[in-house]
Amino acid sequence: MTILVTGATGRVGRHVVDQLLQRGATVRVLTRDPAKASFPTGVDVAKGDLLDIDALRSAFKDVSTLFLLNAVTGDEFAQAIITLNVAREAGVDRVVYLSVFEADRAVNVPHFAVKFGAERMLVQMDFSATILRPTYFIDNEWMVKDVIMEHGVYPMPIGSKGVAMVDARDIAEVAAIELIRRDSAPGKLPVETINVVGPDTLTGPDVARIWSDLLGRPVVYGGDDPGAFEQNMASFMPKWTAYE
C-alpha cells in the first residue's frame, strides 16, 4: 500500500521521503506546487494543501498510512483537524504525527498547544498512531549563523538547563521506521508516544564553546534575554511566531 507524506518539501519531510524509499515503500507526497518541487524517481506527487478538501480526498485514494507534518502557521490546528478527518473518511487510520517535545506541558505556547490538541484527536478518534515529540532542531542554528560569524556571539537564549538538540535527519529516520512498522502491521497497533532527543544536553555556554572550537576564535553566549531575541526574530519572521 501507499504511504502519504505531508510537508514533504521541508527539512524533515524530504528526509522522510528518502528514508521510506530506501526501505522499499510506495510513497505519495502532497505539495502545494509540484512544479517547484523535486522528488526522487518513483514518488507519486499529488497537488494540494491541508486545507483543500478535494485535493486531500484525492491524495488519500489507495493510501494505507499517513505521515502528518504541518507547518507552524496561524491555521495549523485547522490543517491537522481537517487532514485527520479526511483520513478517517478515507479509511486511513494508521498515522505517524510529528508533534513537539513536552507538547502536553507547555500548553501556554500556541504551537505546543496545537500539537497537543492534534495528539488528543488521534487518541480520542482511535487512530493507530505514533506520536513523535522531537526537541529543538539543531538545524535551526542556521538562523543565527550570521550573528555568530559577524559578532562572535551565540544569541539563542537556551539557558543553563540545557537542550538535547536533535537533527532533522534523525527525526526522519525514526518517522520512517514507525511508518513502515505501522503500515506492515497485520492489525491495529496502540497509540505510542516517542520522545526524539539528541545524545547530549547542551547549555547556551556549551553551544558557544562548540562554535568557538569550530571557528577557531572566541564565541560568547549572549545570555538569557528572550525579549531581545524576540525583537531580533521579528525582523525576519511574523511577530506572532517570534513571540511564541
Whether residue 242 is predicted with pLDDT greater than 70 in this model: the reply is no
State residue 8's pLDDT score.
95
Q: Is the model more confident about 137 or about 236?
A: 137
Q: How many domains does the chain have?
A: 1
Tens digit of each residue's pLDDT (9 = 90 or more) over 49-62: 999 999 999 999 99
Tens digit of each residue's pLDDT (9 = 90 or more) over 161-171: 889 999 999 99
CATH number for the domain harbouring residue 149? 3.40.50.720
State mean pLDDT over 32-48: 93
Tens digit of each residue's pLDDT (9 = 90 or more) over 66-84: 999 988 888 899 999 999 9
For residue 71 the three cell numbers come to 507547518
Alpha-carbon span 131 to 99, nearest angstrom? 6
Tens digit of each residue's pLDDT (9 = 90 or more) over 153-201: 998 888 888 899 999 999 999 999 999 999 999 999 999 999 999 999 9
Residue type, 89: E
Q: Which of 118, 116, 54 is nearest to 86 (CA)?
A: 54
The helix-helix angle for 13-22 and 168-184 (nearest 10°) equals 50
* CB crowding 78-89: b at 16 or more within 10 Å, else e: ebbebbbebbbe
Q: Is the model more confident about 215 or about 160?
A: 215
C-beta separation of 242 from 230 below 8 A:
yes
**Domain span at 160:** 2-243
Average pLDDT of the chain, as a whole number:
93
Strand order in the sheet with 44-47: 44-47, 26-31, 2-5, 63-68, 94-98, 128-134, 192-196
Q: For the chain, give percent helix, strand, coil, nearest 5.
A: 45, 20, 40
Q: Which of 101, 109, 108, 105 is nearest to 193 (CA)?
A: 101
Alpha-carbon span 101 to 94, nearest angstrom? 21
State mean pLDDT over 224-239: 74
Whether residue 244 is predicted with pLDDT greater than 70 in this model: the reply is no
- End-to-end alpha carbon distance in the chain: 39
Whether residue 40 is predicted with pLDDT greater than 90 in this model: the reply is yes
For residue 18 the three cell numbers come to 528518502
